Amino acid sequence: MINKTVANVQAACKGATDGMTFMLGGFGLCGIPENAIAELVRLDIKNVTCISNNAGVDDFGLGLLLQKRQIKKMISSYVGENAEFERQMLSGELEVELIPQGTLAQRCLAAQSGVPAFYTPAGFGTEVGQGKESREFDGKMHLLEHAFNAQFSFVKAWKGDTAGNLIFKGTARNFNPNMCGASKITVAEVEELVPAGSLDPNQIHIPGIFVQRIFQGERYEKRIEQRTVRQR
């Protein structure tokens, strides 16, 4: 069986350079690849395009890349809680493509499954549809959307084995499975890395065929974006 384990995050990010397009799993701060993001910050890679549901917060997640002006373009579904993201977008410093969340998910899945494009009704008649081909199906207009074309996918899983099989935990599953295999190289960081054959096959969410590199991450902060507690 192929062993896809790499020694550390430095080896996992080998080949990531300026001007590339990256997919990054997570929703808000839930399930983000913290180690990979920290390494991209350290490498000081510039002019990258990031495909992610949102850009974290000002001082965590993709917000760290925004602080250093490493991101040229964000492809996301919303600005979220990141004031710096909003500021750069409104000032024209950052190119932003805001797309419906379902379309974002499906464009990842299309890339994963080798489908070059698909039609969706989401966004027709809005700014989202400007300049895009449209077609009627069953009396309803649809937009043609294309699969993403990225060099790297950085995802975070709860458990993984040396063959690249992954299990996600709770809502951290979010966009991570969709981005596996949706780029040329998928890098998976996991909290626990076990030998191949240790995982229950019935519990595996993503098979190892979709993963090229896997490593055990370190020091997960797992910050909560908006902490809500009940009043006493």
Listed by start position, the domains of the chain span 18-98+149-216
Is 178 a residue whose pLDDT tops 90? yes
Partner residues linked to 185 by β-bridges: 152
Q: Coil, strand or helix: which one is 9? A: helix
- Across 23-37, 74-88, 159-173, least confident range: 74-88
Residue 79: predicted pLDDT: 80
| Mean pLDDT across 146-151 | 98
| Mean pLDDT across 75-94 | 90
Residue 230: predicted pLDDT: 85
Q: Contact 35/26 with Cβ under 8 angstroms?
A: no
Give the contacts of 226 (CB within 8 A, at least 6 positions apart): 28, 81
Is 147 a residue whose pLDDT tops 80? yes
Q: Which CATH architecture has domain 18-98+149-216?
A: 3-Layer(aba) Sandwich (3.40)
Percent of the chain whose pLDDT exceeds 70: 100
Question: pTM for this one?
Answer: 0.94
